Amino acid sequence: MSRRGNCHDNAVAESFFSSLKRERIRRRTYKTREEARQDVFDYVEMFYNPIRKQVRNGMLSPVEFERQQFFKAEGV
């Protein structure tokens, strides 16, 4: 990682920022910088991390994926 000129180093960050722009920022006009910061925070902490379905998790939200993994580990 962090090798100079390697296009794959930024793939995860580029994917996240693309989703952020597409799903949230392009739809809104912010009156203040603080309003923009709060909206981005809400997107990341209240939607993207816990709720948004992820392809790598079998189209489950991270919370649901963790719940399933817990039950598999417990043998339920």
Residues 1-53 pLDDT 10s: 566 666 677 887 888 889 889 988 887 899 999 999 999 999 888 887 777 77
User: Phi-psi region for residue 35, left (φ > 0), alpha (ψ -120 to 50) or beta?
Assistant: alpha
Compute the distance between CA of residue 51 and CA of residue 46 in angstroms, rounded to an integer: 7
Q: Residues 6 or more apart from 30 whose CB is under 8 A from it?
A: 36, 39
Contact 50, 63 (CB under 8 A): yes
